Amino acid sequence: MAGKNVFYAQSGGVTSVINASALGVFDEVAEHPSTFGAVYAGKNGIIGALKEELIDVSQMSSRERAGLLHTPAGAFGSCRYKLKDIEQQRAQYERLIDVFRAHEIGYFFYNGGGDSQDTAHKVSQLSETLGYPITCIGVPKTIDNDLPHTDCCPGFGSVAKYVATSIREAALDVESMAASSTKVFILEVMGRHAGWIAGAAGLAQTNEHPAPQLILFPERVFDRGAVMAKIAEVVEQQGFCAIVASEGIRDAEGRFVAETGIRDAFGHAQLGGVAQRLAEMVRDDLGLKYHYAIADYLQRSARHIASQTDVDQAYALGRHAVRLAQSGENAVMPTIVRTQDSPYTYTLGHVPLASVANIERPMPEAFISEDGFSITEAARTYFAPLIEGEAFPPFHNGLPDYVRVQYHLVKPKLAPFSV
C-alpha cells in the first residue's frame, strides 16, 4: 500500500539546475512506493498550494521528465511569496494544511533559499499544532551561495562558471581594442549581501590572463576615490581594466550604490544598474571610454555552460532530501559536506531548518585580498572544483533542446482561495 502523497515546490529566483533537484526528488520517491504515494508539484511555488493548483507529476511525458536534468529555470513555476509569522498570517498557514489534508499530502519538499527554508520550518511547526503532521524537508537552492552549513548551494557552481568565462572573454575583447577605444569594462553580477558570485569571477585571473583586475564585494565598503584611483593605475600599467562588481556594493553609510527604491515580496531592496553608475564615475572622474554589461538573468539561466559538479550536486540533494524524509527526519535541509579540496570529494549531510532559515553567509574574510579588490588562494581552492566539468544539454538545430512541462492540474477539492 502506498503511503502519504508528496508535494514539491520551487521558490525564489530560479537557477540553471533547480530542475535537476526536482528530478532527484521524483526519482527517489519512485523507488519507495510503500512510503510515498502520488507526487504533486506546486504551480508557481507555494502559491500553487494556497490556490490548490497542484500539478500531477505522473502525467509528465518521458521527454519532459528526462529533460528536467538539463533544462534551466523553474519547470513548475516559482514565486517570490513569503509567508510571514504564523501569528500574522495564520489563515494562510491553515489553508496550506487544509489543502495538504484534502489531498492526503504528508511530505513537503520546498526547493529554495533562506526564505523558503523558513517557510518549510514554519509549516512543519504549525502542522503539528493543527493536528495534521507533515514532514517538511528543505531542498537547498540559491545562486548567491549564501546558505549556511553547506559547502555550496546548487545553482552557484554554474553561475560561477558563467561569470568567470564571461569576464575572461570580454576582457580579451577590451584588451584587443584598448589602444584606440574602450579601456574600462564593467560586468555587474548578482549578490545582494554576499560576494560569492563576484569572487568566483576571480578564477578567470591567471598569470596569462590579468583580468578581472578589480572585484567589488558587498563585504567591503565602496570607496569611490579608492576605486577610481585603482582603475586609473591599472589602465596606466596594463592599458585596460576589467571589473566585476556585485550588485550589492554599499557606501560607508550602508546605502546600496544601485538601490532603485523598490522592494520585492520578500522585502528586499530591488537592485540593478550598479555597472552603469560605476561607468558614469569612470567617465566623470577619469574621462576614460567604457562599456558595461549586466549579467542579470543570463547568469542564472545559462544551462549551456553549466558545471557538471553543480548538476550532480543538485540532483543528489534532491534524492537525499527524500531519503531523509523516508528515514524519519523532519524540518531539516540536506547539505554538502566537503571532505577534500583536490580532488574534490564530499558527502551529504543535513541540518535543522531552524539553523538556516533567514540566515545569510557572507564571503569569509580569508577569501578577500588585503586590498579588497581580488580573491586569495584560499578562495581559489574553494571555488575551483565547483566549476569543474561540462554538462552540455542536448542541442537541436544549433540551439539547446530544453523542455517545457505541460501542466496537468489535479481537480480542486476545496473552495477558491485568494492570494
pLDDT digits (tens, 9 = 90+) for 123-153: 888 888 788 999 999 999 999 999 999 999 9
Superfamily of domain 156-302: Phosphofructokinase domain (3.40.50.460)
How confident is the model at residue 199, as a pLDDT?
98
The sign of the dihedral angle between the CA atoms of 412, 414, 417, 419 is: negative
Whether the per-residue pLDDT at 412 is higher than 80: the answer is yes
Backbone angles phi, psi at 235, to 5 degrees: -60, -40
- How many whole angstroms separate alpha carbon 393 and alpha carbon 399? 9
Distance of alpha carbon 330 from alpha carbon 353, whole angstroms: 9
Neighbours of 364 (CB within 10 A): 13
**What is the CATH class of 4-141+304-358+391-400?**
alpha beta
Query: Which of 115, 144, 146, 151 is the catalytic position?
Result: 144
Q: What is the pLDDT averaged over residues 174-200?
A: 96
The enclosing H or E element of 114 equals helix 114-129
- Distance in angstroms (rounded) separating the CA atoms of residues 249 and 4: 46
Query: What's the pLDDT tens digit per position in 273-290?
Result: 899 999 999 999 999 999
**Does residue 272 carry a pLDDT above 80?**
no
pTM over 0.75: yes
Distance CA 94, CA 9 (A): 18
d(CA 188, CA 182): 17
Mean pLDDT of the chain: 93
Tell me whether the CATH fold assigned to 4-141+304-358+391-400 matches the one assigned to 156-302. Answer: yes
How many residues comprise the chain?
419
Q: What is the percent of the chain with per-residue pLDDT over 90, rounded to a whole number?
A: 84
C-alpha cell at position 87: 501569528
From the number of C-beta atoms within 10 Å of its C-beta (0-12, 13-18, 19+), residue 35 rates as middle
What is the secondary structure of 232-253 as a DSSP string?
HHHHHHHS-EEEEEETT-B-TT
Positive/negative CA dihedral, 394, 396, 398, 403: negative
Instruction: Indicate if the pLDDT at residue 187 is higher than 90.
Output: yes
Q: What is the pLDDT of residue 393?
A: 98
Lowest mean pLDDT among 152-161, 256-265, 337-346: 256-265
Q: Is 305 exposed, middle or buried (0-12, 13-18, 19+ CB in 10 A)?
A: middle
Of 1-15, 144-158, 329-343, least confident by mean pLDDT is: 1-15
Segment 103-127 shows an average pLDDT of 90
Does 312 qualify as catalytic in the annotation?
no
Cα separation of 178 and 364, whole Å? Answer: 34
Give the residue extent of every domain in the chain.
4-141+304-358+391-400, 156-302
**Could you check whether the bond before residue 416 is cis, i.e. omega within 30 degrees of 0?**
no
- Taking the CA atoms of 62, 63, 69 and 71 in sequence, report the sign of the dihedral they define: negative
89 pLDDT higher than 80: no
